[in-house]
Amino acid sequence: MNCTVDRLLVFLLSVMVRILGGPFIMGGGPEADEQPRRTVVVSAFSIDADEVTRAEYAACVAARACAAAQGAGATDATSRRPVTGVSWHDADAYCKWAHKRLPTEAEWERAARGTDGRTYPWGETVDCARANFGNYDGEGRCPQNPGHPVDVGSFDAKSELHDLAGNVWEWVADWYDARYYAHAPSINPRGPRHGERR
């Protein structure tokens, strides 16, 4: 396989963390579509340590494998802020271009919550020093955080994985079904086979 300099650059900048397979507690959040809380088993996988940056995504756009991101600053090819203004299809195209894939919802939740089903990657309470909740955490609990995305890894720097809470929303591979948690397989759930939205 031949690689372009841009693609090589993406591989050099992209650090992945290995997540061990096994059981973990999934669901149980405050929303009805996060119920029931139950034990799910996932196989081992690797996930990016940081959110995909605007610079990394811009390399995919330059290679003509991804559509340009939308919004102010979205095309800044030097920015370490997470890319925003991309559709699910854009995120999927980026992952394929980088020879990866989007994580399933179960994989993402396993990476974010550990094996014990904690609410946040670090525990049960909001910690404004560990995540960029900004002024949009739903209850205004972190007014000292900026009200916009910041460079990846700016918060919770002692963890292997950064920004699994706060900063920006994440895409996962699965289709959305409000009742899926109630009837999903308990081993490597991949989401509904089809749906109307991601």
The pLDDT assigned to 5 comes to 29
The pLDDT assigned to 84 comes to 92
- Check pLDDT > 50 for residue 48: yes
- Check pLDDT > 50 for residue 12: no
Per the model's pLDDT, the better-predicted residue between 25 and 148 turns out to be: 25
The pLDDT assigned to 136 comes to 53
- Check pLDDT > 80 for residue 185: yes
Amino acid identity of residue 136, one-letter, is Y
Average pLDDT over residues 50-62: 93
The pLDDT assigned to 139 comes to 63
The pLDDT assigned to 135 comes to 60
Q: Which of 65-69, 86-90, 158-162 has the lowest mean pLDDT?
A: 158-162
The pLDDT assigned to 16 comes to 87
**Rounded distance between C-alpha atoms, residue 27 and residue 182, angstroms:** 10
Closest CA to 19 of 141, 140, 81, 104: 104
Q: Which of 1-5, 113-117, 192-196 has the lowest mean pLDDT?
A: 1-5
Q: Which of 2-11, 13-22, 85-94, 128-137 has the lowest mean pLDDT?
A: 2-11
**Rounded distance between C-alpha atoms, residue 170 and residue 190, angstroms:** 16
Q: Is 126 exposed, middle or buried (0-12, 13-18, 19+ CB in 10 A)?
A: middle
Angle made by CA atoms 188, 190, 194, in degrees to the nearest 5:
160
The pLDDT assigned to 62 comes to 93
- Check pLDDT > 90 for residue 134: no
The pLDDT assigned to 157 comes to 67
Sign of the dihedral defined by the CA atoms of residues 59, 63, 65, 70, in that order: positive
Average pLDDT over residues 64-70: 94
- Return the structure tokens found at 102: 């989007």
The pLDDT assigned to 146 comes to 83
Exposure pattern of 4-30 as b/e (b: 16+ CB <10 Å)? eebbeebeeeeeeeebeeeebbbbeee
Average pLDDT over residues 29-49: 92
174: left (phi over 0), alpha (psi -120 to 50) or beta: beta
Strand partners, 24: 40
